[in-house]
Structure 1
Amino acid sequence: MNIKSLLLGSAAALAVVSGAQAADAIVAAEPEPVEYVRVCDAYGTGYFYIPGTETCLKIEGYIRFQVDFGKDQSDHGNPGPGGFPEGTSDWDAFTRGQVQFTAKSDTEYGPLTGVIVLQANADAANSAFQNTKLDSAYIDIAGFRAGLFYSWWDDGLSGETDVLASHETLHNSIRYQYESGDFYAGISVDELEDGHYNPGENPNNVGVALGLGGKAGAFTYQVTGGYDTDNEEGAIRGMGTVAIGPGTLGLAAVWASGGNSYYDASEWTIAAEYAIQATDKLKITPGAQYFWNYGLESNNQDFADGDAWKVGLTLDYQITDNFYAKASVQYLDGDDIDDQTTGYFRLQRAF
């Protein structure tokens, strides 16, 4: 074998080996671009862009533990006008978890908003509160709102003493609200299935509510009306607050023409509360309310002749950021009712 033949054979062998190694080589794929969550500051704090969209989303909520006490068990800090069925014990503990999703995006008509609020309640003493429910769900754009949401009647004064609405204030509704600066005015059409109705009749169907309010310096005001078309009765309410000294004074008055879904606790009532900001973390709110013609007659339409009064005290304390404690005690007495002392203690973690 000559040298030329040896060199050619060696070159051929190297070519075969190199080709085999090239065939076995692994080529790493280029990494795909990752879209990180972007903060959306167009609608306030807490919003972020849903990846791949121009829709901003905010997630918030709270966890609440509460112990109610007293002769009449309330619906956990939201007492109604005519009292509640007696509980099975002098105290009752419950836990609630609530989460809210708010989505916003820009349109040619202004911001398009969608809100979903989910709530779960656990109460061993009252099966009515063993539930997971849709607490709110609505669409809002250009002043129009449609869906399940709380009406203007759900608003109240600072403490827990006042009773300024009756029955359920969460309705399937259609509403238009005009806003200009610190002023608003609107009208809503409400489904009143869970409202007031006469014995032997079907639940209500439709109500019409009006609301206007605003702010002028240290003074805020609100006027709310409601007409129950099935009962052909209505109510009107006025509220106002003003900063005085170390706190805020709140005043309210309500008149109802007869039993209706918006207000039927009494024919007339006035309420006053003074929220004292004692320290950066502690707020003390004493309150009082007087009712003329408290409660309804047996026909469930006309008001009774007796009067009633109520006094109470509420303490709010911020333990740390997003962690609060609240304690409330209320006393109710009247011409035609037994005196009642009720209250609750609450711990709440918001996020």
Structure 2
Amino acid sequence: MNIKSLLLGSAAALAVVSGAQAADAIVAAEPEPVEYVRVCDAYGTGYFYIPGTETCLKIEGYIRFQVNVGDRVGNSLTRPNDSDWDAVTRGQVQFTAKSDTEYGPLTGVIVMQFNADNATDQNAKLDSAYLDVAGFRAGLFYSWWDDGLSGETDDIGSPVTLHNSIRYQYETGDFYAGISVDELEDGPFYDGETPNNVGVAVGLGGKAGAFSYQITAGYDVDNEEGAVRAMGTVEIGPGTLGLAAVYSTGPNAYYNAAEWAVAAEYAIKATDKLKITPGVQYYGNYGVVNPTTDADFSDNDAWKVGLTVDYQIVDNFYAKASVQYLDPDDGDDSTSGYFRLQRSF
């Protein structure tokens, strides 16, 4: 074999190998398109679509630092003592999911709360968890008795307002009315009653121009007592006047501070960032006598006065200070309050 034949044969072999390699060349697959988070504006600001679904999700919450002052405030979430001040921190996060259905928006809410008195004394709890569709709500949520005036002086709500409940509420733009059945398992129990109580509450309210109102009532089945409350606010001058009154037939889970009480406040909008709210309340037949046998309200009255100051430092960050003075007829007077810093998101 001469050199010419050898070169021609080598060239042919190389051509065959090159062709085989060209036929078997690896082609990189194109990347799949990425589904970026989409804004959902159907239910207001802050919602986004959960990727791959038509469900809208909103995440919000706050971080709070607070110093409580007063008689026997304690220095522990679980072991109060004679300390007259205590610093606590809270973090809360809320998840709200919404999607359209043939019955209207289907809503699910989960609220987790984390409290810390110090590095070791901490707790985490489910603050709310409920579903809501077409006006029906079921789960763990706060009742209408949790509402109050805007300041910190009024004492016109239930001692425990978070219940496992089922309710129906009809709403329009400026009016609502509803009824709920509440499990009153961790409220006050009187006359030898034990947990696993039940109550029925109704609420209605609305707005008419500068005036807003709310009427709430509740009946405690085991204690066989009930309470009714009315509140109203109206814009007057540089602020908002708030008035409230409550009456209870006897100590029960919906109201047990007194047989009756009236409260008033005036929330002054001093500047765009500063609000000053003085308030006052008077209790008739204040306090419960013999809670385990023949429970009834006392024959003593009491009055309370206080001041709350709110200051918006920047957007989503504010400071609040509150001081309250309580003077019962048959008991020691007391002063309490707190200073709070809170960042919302």
Same fold (TM over 0.5): yes
Pair 1:200–1:230, CA change in 2 (3 A): closer
Q: Matches of residues 290-305 of structure 1 in structure 2 within 5 Å?
A: 290-299=282-291, 301-305=295-299
Gaps of 5+ in 2: none
CA distance in 2, matches of 1:66, 1:87: 18
298-307 vs 181-190, which deviates more? 298-307
Gaps of 5+ in 1: 77-84
Pair 1:137–1:316, CA change in 2 (3 A): same
Aligned partner letter, 1:59: I
Which of residues 177, 189, 194 in structure 1 aligns to 2:186?
A: 194
Pair 1:120–1:241, CA change in 2 (3 A): same
Quote the offset at 1:131 in angstroms.
1.0
Moved over 6 A (4+): none
Quote the offset at 1:3 in angstroms.
9.6
Pair 1:126–1:327, CA change in 2 (3 A): farther
CA distance in 1, matches of 2:267, 2:304: 17
**1:231 corresponds to:** 223
Q: Matches of residues 1-351 of structure 1 in structure 2 within 5 Å?
A: 5=5, 8-19=8-19, 21-22=21-22, 25-73=25-73, 87-124=81-118, 130-198=122-190, 200-299=192-291, 301-351=295-345
SS in 1 for 2:9: helix
* Residue deviations 1:56-103 (CA, integer Å, cap 9, x gap): 000000000000001143999xxxxxxxx9643010010000000000
Pair 1:342–1:319, CA change in 2 (3 A): same
Q: TM-score if structure 2 supplies the norm length?
A: 0.94
Q: Is the 8 A contact 2:74 2:82 kept in 1?
A: no
Aligned partner letter, 2:209: G
CA distance in 1, matches of 2:262, 2:98: 39
Aligned partner letter, 2:217: G
SS in 2 for 1:106: strand
SS in 2 for 1:153: helix
**1:80 corresponds to:** none
Aligned partner letter, 1:50: I
Pair 1:74–1:304, CA change in 2 (3 A): farther
CA distance in 1, matches of 2:27, 2:106: 47
* Residue deviations 1:202-252 (CA, integer Å, cap 9, x gap): 125100000000000000000000000000000000000000001100000
Q: Is the 8 A contact 2:74 2:86 kept in 1?
A: no
SS in 2 for 1:161: coil
293-302 vs 114-123, which deviates more? 293-302
Pair 1:192–1:125, CA change in 2 (3 A): farther
Aligned partner letter, 2:89: T
CA distance in 1, matches of 2:45, 2:123: 31
CA distance in 2, matches of 1:243, 1:126: 46
How many residue pairs get aligned? The number is 342
Q: Is the 8 A contact 2:193 2:222 kept in 1?
A: no
